[in-house]
Amino acid sequence: MRRLTPYLLALPSWMWLGIFLVVPMAAMASVSLQTGNAIDGFAMTFSFSNYTDALSRYSPQLLRSLLYGGLATVAMLVIGYPVAYWIAFKGGARKSMYLFLLLLPFFVSFVLRTISWGFLLADDGVLFGPLKSWGVLPVGFHVLATTFAVVGGLTYNFLPFMILPIYVALERVDPRIIEAAYDLYASRTAAFRRVVLPLSLPGVFAGVLMTFVPATADPVNAQILGGTSNTMIGNIIQTQYLTNLDYPTASALSFTLMAVLLVGIFIYAKALGTENVLEAAAR
């Protein structure tokens, strides 16, 4: 019975993922190699050219998305880590309350949130209007319809997904280990760098995973907050799927995006793993 335990535990999720993820994905892979259109039908022609065509046409948007996603992820890491740290170590009995407060805005629809953001960031709105009339900002200044707005929106929208996993990993760290480090004359930074940070890395990895991927693929922030040169790959895929009904191109782009993200994450995992193995060996 013992040996079966992991299989039984995993079985429901396996079935769910198998039926609702693997099968449709395989179907989509098949479609990505077909040619045709919605009216006359599609036929399997093994056209790998779908991939090369899509890549050559849309590589600017793909690279741009990786850039925005990367910037947003770094921003979220920098902004979110201290918050996770504080709640995990100093939150005390009110930890759940802080977590809840962090997640609360996300019980409200993102459309409402993003539109409210747009309202706050309006050229002559409550934030910039007064600043402009006092001469602090030039009249032509605007945040909306710029790259900054889009990356800012991505950072805002996915921040809790960075904070939560880091918190979960940090929370398990026994504060006595840190005390021990201090007792051994470690400075605050050294204690953090050599004790806390490595222990939090699984959380950081999970956080990066849960933020970089959706941020890179997100179409909504670019749509609502962006300008004319902020189109991301998510917007392109959306247009191909829903407006042009060009399923082969859309599928090819989707797989390309997923492949690129996979590669990025694998490299990151390897880098993390290698680092840690070395450090463990050194202790």
Residues 42-61 that bind other proteins (CB under 8 A): 42-44, 60-61
Given a contact cutoff of 8 angstroms between Cβ atoms, the answer to whether 150 and 218 are in contact is no
Kindly tell me which residue out of 47, 132, 137, 142 binds other proteins, with binding defined by CB under 8 A: 142
**Residue 25 makes contact with other proteins by CB under 8 A:** yes
Residue 43: beta bridge partners?
A: 35
What are 75-80's contacts with CB under 8 Å, separation 24+? 75/151, 75/155, 76/155, 76/158, 76/159, 76/162, 76/207, 76/211, 77/162, 77/204, 77/207, 77/208, 79/155, 79/159, 80/159, 80/162, 80/163, 80/166, 80/207
Of residues 110 through 129, those in contact with other proteins by CB under 8 A are 110-120, 122-125
Given the complex with other proteins, which of 148 and 171 has the nearer CB atom?
A: 171
Of residues 160 through 219, those in contact with other proteins by CB under 8 A are 160-161, 164-165, 167-169, 171-172, 182, 188, 198-203, 206, 209-210, 213-214, 217, 219
Least Å from the CB of residue 212 to other proteins:
9
**What distance in Å separates the CA atoms of residue 274 and residue 191, rounded to the nearest whole number?**
21
Given the complex with other proteins, which of 93 and 184 has the nearer CB atom?
A: 93
Least Å from the CB of residue 77 to other proteins:
13
Distance from CA of residue 83 to its chain's centroid? Answer: 18
**Residue 14 makes contact with other proteins by CB under 8 A:** yes
Given the complex with other proteins, which of 136 and 245 has the nearer CB atom?
A: 245
Kindly tell me which residue out of 26, 63, 139, 180 binds other proteins, with binding defined by CB under 8 A: 26
Least Å from the CB of residue 135 to other proteins:
18
**What distance in Å separates the CA atoms of residue 66 and residue 206, rounded to the nearest whole number?**
18
The binding track of 66-85 with respect to other proteins, each residue x by CB under 8 A or -, is -------------xx-xx-x
Contact residues for 89 (Cβ-Cβ < 8 A; gap 6+): 170, 175
The binding track of 215-244 with respect to other proteins, each residue x by CB under 8 A or -, is --x-xx--xx-xxxx-x--xxxxxx-xxxx
Of residues 144 through 163, those in contact with other proteins by CB under 8 A are 144-145, 156, 159-161
**What distance in Å separates the CA atoms of residue 67 and residue 210, rounded to the nearest whole number?**
16
